[in-house]
Chain A
Amino acid sequence: MVLLTRKAEFSSAHYYWNDVWSAEENERVFGRCANRNGHGHNYTLEVTVAGEVDQVSGFVVDLKQLKDILEREVIRVYDHRHLNLEVPEFATRIPTTENIAISIWDRLDGKIPNARLHRVRVYELPDLFADYYGERG
């Protein structure tokens, strides 16, 4: 088995807010991230897939095909968008780095031919990132 990682970037706006809380509680927990006018990041996405190397092509997956899947399933939906206001999964899920990684996993899972999704890593900043391996519980 070989792991293969493809990187992509998107730039999006978001804010952290939970409607079940008062404004004061949101500001206490989320600090500056609770500003309802939003703020933004240049996110870096790393998608790692696992698979066997095809004897004929020498590939785990066709990188162009993987790039097109990331573009169609994630980048086209997230890039230059306000995550809270324009991306359906974040209507009910706060777009934290952890939840963005989970949401991208859900978007990609089962859509990559001949390979298994291994890890989704999302960098919100070069010094802050979240990993999701599809684990629950």
Chain B
Amino acid sequence: MTNTTGNSSVPRAYLSRRYHLSASHRLHTGAFSDEQNRAAYGKCNNPYGHGHNYTIEVTLGGPVDPVTGMVCDLGTLDAFASELLLARFDHQNLNTLPEFESSVSTTENFTREVHRIFSGFAHAELIRVRIEETSNNSFEYAGPESNRKAQNL
């Protein structure tokens, strides 16, 4: 690093916070016939839906403030998540929400939606969103493909 201004000696760290929410969904697309939907999505295409306990892991990065010792204030982040993540999705049927009106409620699409939400958090840089749909399945999104460094962190 060639930057020799005062800020160059400030350590840069990453803070990850995990949130939990429970929701139902059904994987189904109008682009397929019923038979194609069943073939593509299997038991996830059950017309009555099913549900998961999702774990949402949000990673933020930035210089550690020498005054507070923090990347960002946790209370501010939790309040943001409570209002824009948990209040919106917890104990809901994802398919009924406007976010999934024109996209299938896969966890890939859910991860991108949560990334879009947290990219509006003004107090630190969003690095990555990772969602565990079950303890065996998890999905990550770090923004556009060019953002390779974030994906390697």
Contacts and interface: CB of A to CB of B under 8 A. Distances in A.
Interface in A102-137: 102, 126-133, 135-137
Given A133-B153, A136-B10, A93 B16 contact: no
A96 B68 contact: yes
A11 interface: no
A55 to B, nearest CB: 27
A107 to B, nearest CB: 14
Interface residues of A, number: 26
Interface of A is mostly: mixed
Given A16-B69, A98-B64, A127 B18 contact: yes
Interface in B3-40: 3, 7-20
Interface in A44-95: 93-95
A23 interface: no
Interface of B is mostly: mixed
B12 A137 contact: yes
A126 B57 CA distance: 11
Interface of B: 1, 3, 7-20, 59, 63-64, 67-71, 73-75, 153
29 contacts: A18-B67, A20-B67, A29-B68, A30-B68, A96-B64, A96-B70, A98-B11, A98-B13, A99-B64, A101-B13, A102-B64, A127-B18, A128-B15, A128-B18, A129-B15, A130-B13, A131-B16, A131-B59, A131-B153, A132-B11, A133-B14, A133-B153, A135-B12, A136-B8, A136-B9, A136-B10, A137-B10, A137-B12, A137-B63
